[in-house]
C-alpha cells in the first residue's frame, strides 16, 4: 500500500493519499536482523499483504543521496559519508529524520520499521516517541541467519537502479544479466555491499544493533524468526509467529 510513501520518503509537507479502512487492527512492526538477512524482502512482502507502510531509514538516505549535490543539506552530505564507509549515521541525525516523519507512525495500514532503531539510544527514543504519540508496537521481529550466509547474500546483492527490486546473483539472479526483470533498468551494487564495507557493517551490527535483541526481549516484544529458506518460507514463518496472524487488509 502507498508504495511511493511520499510522507516518509520526502518528509513534510508531503502527504500520502488516504488509505482504505483496514478490517484488522494495523500491525506496527520493527524488523531486526543483520544487514543482508533479508529484512527488505520481508518488509516488501509484509507491506504488500498486510497493507502496512514500509518505513526504511536506509531508503530515505539513498533517495536523498540520489539528488544533485546542490539539493542536499549539509546533514545529508555528512550522513552519506558515514553510509559509504559502512558506518552508522549519528543517532541525532537519524532521530531528527524520524521525528520529522512521525505522522507515518499513525499510518492507518500500520508500519514496518526497517533499519530503525539500530542502536539502544534510538530504541529508547522510539519508545518515548511511540508513548508520546499514544501508540504501541505489535511486535519486533528478529531475523536470524549464520554469519557466513549473510556475507554471501550481501556480496551477491544487486538492486534495480529504477524500481529498487532486489536480486541475488546466486539465490535470485535476474533473467538477463545486470537488468531488472520487472522494469529492465540496469542493476547496481550498493557501495555498502562491497567487501570492505560489508565487514564494517557486520562489526557495527554486532556492536550497536545486536543489543536491541535483549532490549526488546525484556520489553516482551521480541519474535525470533529463523531467516533460512526462500523469502516465501520466511514470510509464512513470520506470519505464523505474529500476534493476530490471520488478518488481511480490506480491498
Please state the φ and ψ torsions of residue 235, each to the nearest 5 degrees.
Answer: -60, -45
**122 near ligand AMP, rule: CB under 6 A:** yes
Binding mask 77-116 for ligand AMP (x = CB under 6 A): -----xx---xxx----x--------------------xx
Binding mask 2-41 for ligand AMP (x = CB under 6 A): ---------------------------------x------
Which C-beta is closer to ligand AMP: that of 24 or that of 172? 172
Cell of 87: 558506518
- Among residues 36, 38, 3, 32, the alpha carbon closest in space to that of 231 is found at 38
Which C-beta is closer to ligand AMP: that of 22 or that of 52? 52
Q: How many Å apart are CA 189 and CA 182, to the nearest integer?
A: 17
Which C-beta is closer to ligand AMP: that of 147 or that of 244? 147
Residue 226: CB atoms within 10 Å:
12
Q: Is 118 a catalytic residue?
A: yes
Q: Is 201 a catalytic residue?
A: yes
Sign for the CA dihedral angle at 50, 52, 57, 58 comes to: positive
Binding mask 198-237 for ligand AMP (x = CB under 6 A): ---x------------------------------------
**Angle, helices 57-65/91-100, rounded to nearest 10 degrees:** 100
**193 near ligand AMP, rule: CB under 6 A:** no
Number of residues this chain uses to bind ligand AMP (CB under 6 A):
17
* C-alpha distance from residue 51 to each of 16, 29, 133, 251 (Å): 14, 12, 21, 10
**Angle, helices 91-100/120-132, rounded to nearest 10 degrees:** 20
Contact residues for ligand AMP (CB under 6 A)?
35, 56-58, 61, 82-83, 87-89, 94, 115-116, 118, 122, 192, 201
Q: Would you please indicate which residues are annotated as catalytic (active-site) residues?
A: 39, 118, 157, 190, 201
Amino acid at each position: 500500500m502507498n508504495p511511493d510513501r511520499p510522507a516518509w520518503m520526502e518528509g513534510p509537507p508531503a502527504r500520502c493519499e488516504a488509505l482504505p479502512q483496514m478490517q484488522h487492527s494495523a500491525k506496527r512492526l520493527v524488523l531486526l536482523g543483520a544487514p543482508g538477512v533479508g529484512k527488505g524482502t520481508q518488509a516488501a512482502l509484509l507491506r504488500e499483504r498486510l497493507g502496512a507502510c514500509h518505513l526504511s531509514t536506509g531508503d530515505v538516505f539513498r533517495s536523498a543521496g540520489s539528488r544533485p549535490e546542490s539539493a542536499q543539506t549539509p546533514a545529508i552530505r555528512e550522513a552519506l559519508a558515514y553510509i559509504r564507509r559502512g558506518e552508522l549515521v549519528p543517532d541525532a541525525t537519524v532521530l531528527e529524520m524520524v521525528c520529522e516523519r512521525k505522522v507515518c507512525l499513525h499510518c492507518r495500514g500500520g508500519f514496518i520499521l526497517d533499519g530503525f532503531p539500530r542502536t539502544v539510544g534510538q530504541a529508547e527514543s522510539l519508545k518515548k516517541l511511540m508513548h508520546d504519540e499514544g501508540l504501541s508496537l505489535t511486535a519486533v521481529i528478529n531475523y536470524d541467519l549464520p554469519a557466513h550466509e549473510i556475507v554471501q547474500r550481501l556480496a551477491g546483492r544487486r538492486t534495480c537502479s529504477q524500481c529498487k527490486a532486489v536480486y541475488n546473483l546466486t539465490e535470485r539472479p535476474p533473467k538477463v544479466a545486470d537488468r531488472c526483470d520487472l522494469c529492465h533498468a540496469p542493476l547496481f551494487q550498493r557501495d555498502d555491499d562491497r567487501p570492505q564495507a560489508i565487514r564494517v557493517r557486520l562489526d557495527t551490527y554486532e556492536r550497536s544493533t545486536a543489543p536491541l535483541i535483549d532490549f526488546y526481549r525484556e520489553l516482551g516484544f521480541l519474535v525470533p524468526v529463523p531467516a533460512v529458506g526462500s523469502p516465501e518460507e520466511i514470510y509464512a514463518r513470520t506470519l505464523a509467529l505474529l500476534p493476530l496472524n490471520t488478518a488481511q487488509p480490506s480491498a
